[in-house]
Structure 1
């Protein structure tokens, strides 16, 4: 039995579909089962609740031998500091998985070894340490910037021909597509041969700056799209103006600063995987249709 957390999220949903296609028995943890697609509700076991809750995770892991782990985003308006949120959310799952000898495939950040604060990325790296300390067999999918983050820019691309972020205009920003994350997670969950604890960096073949990404998007869409780097302080202030908690805005700003300082290059990728999806392909298949919708 494979337990999947966040089955209504972009990555979790794709993982569930791949496992069902492979004929696996799947159990999902979900707060609101009505948010699951109809075909999933008919094909998976459902444990209703939060996977950060002790009783819920214990019930979900009963009789299971594998788990896909992903911490959901904190409340936009009421988020506190990311580190305690990640650790509190993960603590019961790590304990239960260790007690039941459940193998865990988790989603985390690339960048172990980065010496400074990195907001949400530091929180994810601290989560890894907690899971590893429990002794469970663990494969940590260590990921850079999601290409799907750029879907938030679809309106600006369509209406103004711009992408606006606080990431440095001329610093390469490693990326990955969520479909490749789901492929890698499903492959590890289906593989019965591994044990121990290993980090698995997963990065696209590209090494593009945000400015170069804008060029690729321009070529894909057939009209000019320019990248505009927002000041980091302005980025943080805008988040608060839009309703984000001050703690979340600070964690996001610290994350971008770490990206600008090269956090993704801090971790060696010798045991990593080169993801299949190139940025241009992703633009053609995902971003272009979203902009034109």
Structure 2
């Protein structure tokens, strides 16, 4: 039995579908019974659980041989970093009681760094916590998801300007489709893991892109003239506050892009590498189609 936490997210759904396609038994963990329909349809056993509830984690792991762990940043929380750290610590306590499990933990590029990386610092905490409790551990570090551009696509379609925190606009950065991350995660879950050895795998897309590439792909998909706009550094926080984020969440993002734009966040040398097959244009076209629909 393979257990998938975060099964209703883009990566989790992709992992579950890939495992079911290969005939593996999958237990999908959802927070609400209303989320179970799609997962039931593809043959998953669906259970409710919450990474903030240790008892529900134990129930979800009963009888499992492998588990995919995703600890998401709580977007509407007044202190998302503190809440995510508590979630990670709760998950780690539960995993300690299941040492036979192969744990595939979803992490981020740059998680090896221990300071000043914003959201990525939380994945540094996750990796450290899980190393202490999971004898069979695979860390899957993902580049930035291409689907994250969905947050600003409506603005770009309305104004012809694609706001970007990637500076400069012509600097290529690693990125990957969430769907491809799920496919790689499914393969790693079925690979198994040797006890006492932490396996680190880094995944990104078939090539690197810059913000200008994103704008061109969006223009081609929408049939409009769209150019990338480097949002001035001094306007980042205010822009995010206007978009509904709180100050704590905004600071995590600012710190992340400061680190990324200075070249600190990238694939760690010496890690295993995987490359997805989905190109940026396909992802952007799907985003535009969804918005138009």
TM-score calculated relative to the size of structure 2: 0.89
After TM superposition, the structure 1 stretch with the greater mean CA deviation from structure 2, 107-116 or 199-208, is 107-116
d(CA) in 1 for partners of 2:39, 2:278: 27
What is the root-mean-square deviation in Å for CA atoms of aligned residues?
Answer: 2.3
Query: Matched residues in 1 for 2:239 and 2:66: separation?
Result: 41
Is 1:215–2:213 an aligned residue pair? no
* 2:171 aligned with 1:185: no
Check whether the contact 1:97–1:136 (CA below 8 A) recurs between aligned residues: no
Q: Distance in 2 between matches of 1:85 and 1:193?
A: 30
Q: Alpha-carbon deviation of 1:144?
A: 1.6
For residues 12-38 of structure 1, the C-alpha deviation after alignment (integer angstroms, 9 at most, x for no partner) is 122222222222222222221112225
Q: What do the CA deviations read for 1:239-265 (whole angstroms, capped 9, x no partner)?
A: 223332211111111111111122333
Q: CA distance change for structure 1 residues 108 and 193 in 2, over 3 Å: closer, same or farther?
A: closer
Q: Return the offset for 1:287.
A: 3.3
SS of the residue 1:202 aligns to: strand
Q: Which residue of the partner structure matches residue 23 of structure 2?
A: 23
Residue 134 of structure 1 corresponds to which residue in structure 2? 133
Alpha-carbon distance in 1 for matches of 2:204, 2:46: 32
- Cα 1:137–1:261 shift into 2, 3 Å: same
Cα distance change, pair 28–220 in 1 and its aligned pair in 2 (3 A) = closer
Greater Cα shift, 119-128 or 206-215 = 206-215
Shift of 1:58: 1.0
- Closer, same or farther: CA 290–154 of 1 in aligned 2, 3 Å: farther
How many equivalent residue pairs?
Answer: 290
Matched with 1:158 is 157
Unaligned runs of 5+ in 2: none
Alignment check: 8 A CA contact 1:144 1:203 kept: yes
Structure 2 CA distance, aligned partners of 1:192 and 1:269? Answer: 20
Report what 2:225 is aligned to.
224
Correspondence 1:200-211 to 2 at 5 A: 200-211=201-212
TM-score (norm 1): 0.89
Give the conservation status (yes or no) of the 8 Å contact 1:94–1:136. Answer: no
* 5+ residue gaps, structure 1: none
For the Cα contact (< 8 Å) 1:15–1:185, is it kept in 2?
yes
Does the CA-based 8 Å contact 2:17-2:42 persist in structure 1?
Answer: no
Q: In 2 relative to 1, CA 282–23 (structure 1 residues): closer, same or farther, beyond 3 Å?
A: same
- C-alpha displacement of 1:81: 4.9
Segments ≥4 residues shifted beyond 6 Å: none
Judge which range, 43-52 or 177-186, deviates more: 43-52
Query: Is the partner of 2:79 in helix, strand or coil?
Result: coil
What is the match of residue 250 of structure 1? 251
SS at match of 1:277: coil
- Give the deviation of 1:128 after TM superposition: 0.7
Structure 2: distance between partners of 1:69 and 1:27: 13
- Once residues 136 and 176 of structure 2 are traced to their aligned partners in structure 1, the CA distance between those partners, rounded to angstroms, is 24
CA contact (8 A) 2:120 2:256 kept: yes
For 1:266 and 1:140, locate their aligned partners in 2 and report how far apart those are by CA, in whole Å.
13
Of 90, 93, 96, which aligns to 1:95? 93
Contact 1:141/1:199 (8 A) holds in 2 = yes
Assess if the C-alpha contact under 8 Å between 1:7 and 1:36 holds in 2: no
Contact 1:110-1:263 at 8 Å conserved across structures: no
- CA distance in 1 between counterparts of 2:129 and 2:193 reads 24
